[in-house]
Each structure stands twice: as structure tokens, then as C-alpha cells.
Amino acid sequence: MKKINLAEVLLKEMAVFDCKSFESKEEMFDIAALKFTEEGFVTNAEAFEEALKFRETLGPTYMGNLVAVPHGKCREVLKPGIAFYRCKEPFVYESAGESGFVKYIFVLAISENQENNYHLRVLAALAGMLAHKEFLKLLEEAADYEEFIHGINQLKL
């Protein structure tokens, strides 16, 4: 099975490195769903937002270390990918009974017809990187998408 390279699934058009803080997780879901739709990755923002909300009922997507990894799987996702938001200030993120401050958000859009374990492999790759201080430092310090991707490719994780 081919290892997932995050640099290949992080979407340039969905990367925001100076995002104003969100008021809530729900506001972030709304904005992310609209952006995925505007960029042509999703055909229906409301359906994708509902998929994000449904996933939250299954368990927490708050990861600690100021990171959240919400994800939604639905047939309205035309092209799978990951959006990244780095907020200027952390905000409170509540997820399945857990809450904490979040500054870095990876939003996964998963197609219903995608191979079953692909998104689990992406999540595993991301979780593996989040366990390393060098990656967490890169989340904070990368100036833009190109620097972020270059940094990911340079990490020996």
C-alpha cells in the first residue's frame, strides 16, 4: 500500500495562513464548506457541512496541541482533498464532549466513492506528523503554502 504524502493532498486553493479566528466550530464548518464549493471540490456546501456535523457525532476531531481534524464524507465531494487554516488566535473547539483551543485546522473532504480506507490512511499520515515537534513548528512558522509544502517535504518523518 502506497504511503500518503500530505504534500500531495493539501490543496493550495484551500490553504489560509492568516485566518481570523472563528467564533465557533460551526462557523468554521460553514466557511470551509462554502470554500470547498466555490473552488469546485464539492457540489453542495450544505450537504458537505452536514457530513462534517455528522462525523462529529461519531467521536472527537479535536486532537490537542491546538489542532483539529474535522472531516466529512459524502457523494457531493467531487475531488477529495485537505483544507488548512491557521488562525491568528486560537478559538474554543468543542467536539464530541471534548473541547480545547484550536489554531490549526485540517478539514478533509472525502468522496463517498473513494476507496474505503484512503481517508483513514490520510488521517494516519497526518496524525503521525502531528506527533513531531518539527511539524508543529512548521504549522506555526510557514509563511505560505509553498513554504509549508517545502517544509513537509524536507521533514524526515
Q: How far apart are CA 105 and CA 18, in angstroms?
A: 12
**Model pLDDT for residues 39-53, shown as the tens digit of each residue:** 999 999 999 999 999
Q: What is the pLDDT of residue 8?
A: 79
**Residue 17 near residue 26, CB atoms below 8 Å:** no
Q: What is the per-residue pLDDT for 28?
A: 95
**94 neighbors 60 (Cβ within 8 angstroms):** no
| Side-chain-facing half-sphere of 38: CA atoms under 13 Å | 9
> What contacts 27, CB < 8 A, 6 or more positions away?
none
Architecture of the domain spanning 10-152: 3-Layer(aba) Sandwich (3.40)
Q: Where are the domains of the chain?
A: 10-152
For the chain, what is the mean pLDDT?
90
Phi, psi of 12 (to 5 degrees): -55, -45
Residue type for position 72: G
Among 157, 105, 107, smallest CA distance to 135 is for: 157
pTM check: above 0.75: yes
Q: Would you give the end-to-end CA distance of the chain in angstroms?
A: 18
pLDDT (tens digit per residue) in 125-145: 888 888 889 999 999 999 999
- The per-residue pLDDT for range 65-93, each reduced to its tens digit, is 999 999 999 999 998 889 999 999 999 99
Q: Are strands 71-74 and 62-64 parallel, antiparallel or unpaired?
A: unpaired
